[in-house]
């Protein structure tokens, strides 16, 4: 028994195969996080940010350092910015929050507002 494949059937099978490959590639990619939760400390100079980061790395509490030194109103909440979506913060801040590791303190990150130390709490 032999099967003859017509050109229209061959074309349909090829189209189906291409669509299947594209779907497989799309589904295999990890989903981009669309929401994050983070805290930050905002200061005027890079030197201040580096000094605070050294203190935090040596064991100082991030939230306490934010309360004492940040110039952002979030300092009353230990620097907590709560949850926010991708694109809601300035580009430099957003890039760190949505691409770097959750947990450690990142920075200094320079933006138009000053220098930030950023602690990413969660990302989903």
Q: Residue 118 is part of which domain span?
A: 35-123
16 occurs within a structural domain: no
DSSP character string of 21-62: HHHHHHHHSPPPP-EEEEEEEEES-HHHHHHHHHHHHTT--H
85 occurs within a structural domain: yes
Average pLDDT (13-38) is 65
14 occurs within a structural domain: no
112 occurs within a structural domain: yes
Tokens of 18: 């291409």
CATH code of the domain covering residue 40: 3.10.50.40
pTM: 0.75
44 occurs within a structural domain: yes
Give the chain's domain count: 1
106 occurs within a structural domain: yes
**Digit-coded pLDDT (tens) for 63-107:** 999 999 999 999 999 999 999 999 999 999 999 999 999 999 999
48 occurs within a structural domain: yes
Residue 20 has pLDDT above 60, yes or no: no
Check if the beta carbon of residue 121 is closer than 8 Å to that of residue 39. yes
- pLDDT number for residue 32: 73
pLDDT band at 30 (very low <50, low <70, confident <90, very high): low
């Amino acid at each position: 028994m032999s099967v003859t494949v017509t050109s229209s059937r061959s074309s349909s099978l090829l189209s189906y195969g291409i669509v299947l490959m594209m779907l497989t590639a799309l589904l295999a990619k990890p989903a981009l996080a669309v929401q994050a939760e983070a805290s930050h400390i905002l200061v005027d100079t890079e030197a201040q940010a580096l000094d605070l980061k050294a203190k935090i790395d040596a064991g100082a509490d991030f939230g306490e350092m934010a309360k004492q030194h940040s110039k952002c109103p979030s300092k009353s909440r230990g620097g907590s910015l709560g949850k926010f979506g991708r694109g809601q913060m300035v580009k430099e801040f957003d890039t760190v929050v949505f691409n770097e590791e959750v947990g450690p303190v990142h920075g200094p990150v320079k933006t138009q507002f000053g220098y930030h130390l950023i602690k990413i709490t969660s990302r989903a």
